[in-house]
Structure 1
Amino acid sequence: MVFMSQRNRRHSIVIDEPIRRVEAGPWAIELLPGAAYSVRYVATQSAIGFAFDSQRGVHAIGTDRIRPFDAMPNGLAFVPAGCDVLSESPMGGEYLRVIRTDGTALAGDSAFNNRIDPQAIHLASRMRNALLQASLDDDWESWALNLAERVEGHEAAMHQGSITGSRMRLLDEFIDAGLGSPLSVPEMAQLLDLSEGYFMRAFKQATGKSPHSYLIDRRLAKARASMRDTTASLSQIALACGFNSQAHMTTAFKQRLGVSPAQLRTDSRHSSATDTQHSSI
């Protein structure tokens, strides 16, 4: 989910995009690809998380009461040490996890998620891009420390307004069903029975991004899932996800993720082959 944990991952039809991890000083940083998961654990270290995608399922965080959850895209999360966590999602979503491993507690004694913070969004995106590029010489300790400061920051707040979890779910279903064709902001606003101007303001407040930027994120997420779960060509995947061409999709990948779809697919295949070799030993 939303909260940090080791995930029991279902194997895809063809390949699994790997969990990417780097250790820098007292920090461990992981990028978990979107996948179904079911976990229960007691957090031994306080941890920071960032949900790049919408996520939904059930959870019980610091309580024995299991409740449905809707995690907003671009939401910052925190779990303190000692917190009992149960979380399950049939779809999951791409997730960044940052843990301080030297025993030093991070500030805060209450778990939270769905906190929208523009600086946290920027930091998480930089960390994701560096992990996807296997760029291990970047300023990981500084990024992790700055993200921890965002957890402490008083200016960060939870905003949903008119874009609630249930409305986000409806919007995601509408977008996913229509990704192969053009989608417009007026259509999305009409779906939620909001004026275009109000919808754009409310969406930015709830997710930290514009509807257009989020639509690109959804196209990229579907393309990455298709690259994992099918043997379709990149040109076929591009058209199925609403890009004009493979070149258009490649440009979006490089701009948003810092890597090309071909490179990402090759890296995943190499990782899958390595995992198979190791499991057979």
Structure 2
Amino acid sequence: MLSFGRAASRLPNKVGPRSSRHVRHGIDGLSAAFERLSSRPDGWRCVRWPGGTFETAHRPLTAFVEGSIASSSHLIMTTLSGGAERHEFTIDGGRRHDGPDLPASISFLPAQCERRLRLHNVAWRWATIAFDADAIERLAPGSLGGLAPIAGAEDRFVWNLLAEFDRLDAQESGLDEAYCETMSHALVLYLAKRYGRPATLPQRIRLPGYRLRRVADFIDAHLHKAIRIADLARLVDLSEGHFHRAFRASTGKTPLQFINGQRVALAKHALVRSDASVTQIALDAGFVSPTHFARIFRSETGQSPSDYRRTFRL
């Protein structure tokens, strides 16, 4: 039974490289999971409750960070504000990501899974919840155990939940243990429902990985200009109709949705990291007009470009 009103166990706000080695680590927090990074972030805060840990920290502008993350716990991470110009990483099993890290982007790293990473021009504040793998399996069997790694997805629900953990933890009263247990359980169920993949699409209509990368690389290199579906189809030797179906089966998005998503991601990075006008950012990202940009941006993020800049600017 949950004991409402009981405070979660809070570690000191500043955990240096030496003291972090003495933190109890049965529930792996990131203070130890991040030991293998070339430099540590600042302002570390850590709160624990039975079955979980919440941690947050920030990093001033740093030109380059590299290393790896690994934990015996399931880790869900989000960028609260700021970001990285480029975030490269490889996850056990061969999954790769190379692109900007933006506010509200999330990652899920299963227990015993290693991520090798490189960050370029990073300045951010992030938060994470570490779930004890055995406790989660007892609480919600099969919920996270079979969930594949998640890399760089934008998820406002997860961002808002971890931002609220951060807000409450910063208050004098801190986080309540019952609140942490209840909300982390809800987060586990959400992740399983939202990102679980119990069924697979027929392999025959998917694009092979190397062809999908060829298309994605072409799109990223030509975001500033018009991109024709016919040109993308020609890259992989398919008709436009067949390409459209195969691309959607492979990514869950139509080619146009994917292109717009990449343009919005480029614009979000510029809104947070540059002083350029919204109009200039729209044109640089390949949108035909500021009005078109505002409409697509709002449909992707739920905010206007100006509101997004005010929300996430460091």
User: Which TM-score band (shorter chain)?
Assistant: 0.5 to 0.7
Partner of residue 85, structure 1: 114
2:297 to 249, 253, 258: 253
Instruction: Identify if the C-alpha distance between structure 1 residues 213 and 40 changes in structure 2 by more than 3 Å, giving closer, same or farther.
Output: same
Q: 1:127 aligns with which of 152, 157, 160?
A: 157
1:42-78 CA deviation, whole Å, 9 max, x = no partner? 313224589xxxx99563628xxxx6x43599xx986
Unaligned runs of 5+ in 2: 1-29, 40-47, 57-62, 79-85, 100-105, 168-181
The alpha carbon displacement at 1:167 in A equals 2.4
Query: Relative to 1, partners in 2 of residues 1:239 and 1:128: Cα closer, same or farther, differing over 3 Å?
Result: farther
Q: Give yes or no for the alignment of 1:186 onto 2:217.
A: no
Q: Which has the larger radius of gyration?
A: 2
Equivalenced residues, count:
229
Displacement, 1:262?
1.1
| CA offset digits 1:256-277 (Å, max 9, x no partner) | 11112112222333xx2xxxxx
Relative to 1, partners in 2 of residues 1:129 and 1:261: Cα closer, same or farther, differing over 3 Å? farther
**Structure 2 equivalent of residue 105 of structure 1:** 136
Is the counterpart of residue 38 in structure 1 residue 71 in structure 2?
A: no
SS at match of 1:112: coil
In 1, the alpha carbon distance for the partners of 2:203 and 2:120 equals: 24
Equivalent-residue separation in structure 2 for 1:140 and 1:197 (angstroms): 44
Equivalent positions of 1:259-274 (< 5 A) are: 259-269=303-313, 272=314
In the alignment, is residue 169 of structure 1 matched against residue 213 of structure 2? yes
Where do 1:1-281 residues align within 5 Å?
A: 38-47=66-75, 59=90, 61=92, 69-71=95-97, 79-81=109-111, 83-89=112-118, 99=129, 101=131, 104-106=135-137, 107=142, 109=145, 112-113=148-149, 125=155, 127=157, 130=160, 142=186, 144-149=188-193, 154-155=198-199, 162-269=206-313, 272=314
Q: Root-mean-square deviation (CA), in Å?
A: 4.9
Give 1:230 shift. 2.9
CA–CA separation in structure 1 for the residues paired with 2:263 and 2:295: 13
CA pair 133-164 structure 1, distance change in 2 beyond 3 A: farther
TM-aligned CA distance change 1:232 to 1:147, over 3 Å: same
| 2:292 aligned counterpart, secondary structure | helix
Q: If the length of structure 2 is used for normalisation, what is the TM-score?
A: 0.54
d(CA) in 2 for partners of 1:36, 1:110: 33
User: 1:38: how far off?
Assistant: 3.2
Mapped partners of 1:258, 1:28: distance in 2: 27
Please say if residues 90 and 97 of structure 2, whose CA atoms lie closer than 8 Å, have aligned partners that are also in contact.
no
Shift of 1:239: 0.9
Higher strand share: 2
Counterpart of 2:269, as a letter, is A
SS for the counterpart of 1:105 is: helix
Shift in CA distance, 168/244, structure 1 to aligned 2, threshold 3 Å: same
- Percent identity among equivalent residues? 26
Structure 1 distance, partners of 2:309, 2:110, is 35
In 1, Cα distance between the equivalents of 2:69 and 2:87?
Answer: 19
Distance 1:41 1:56 in 2: 14
Summarize deviations over 1:74-113 as a string: whole Å, max 9, x none.
Answer: xx986443x1514225679xxx997454662353656734
The alignment partner of 1:70 has SS state of strand
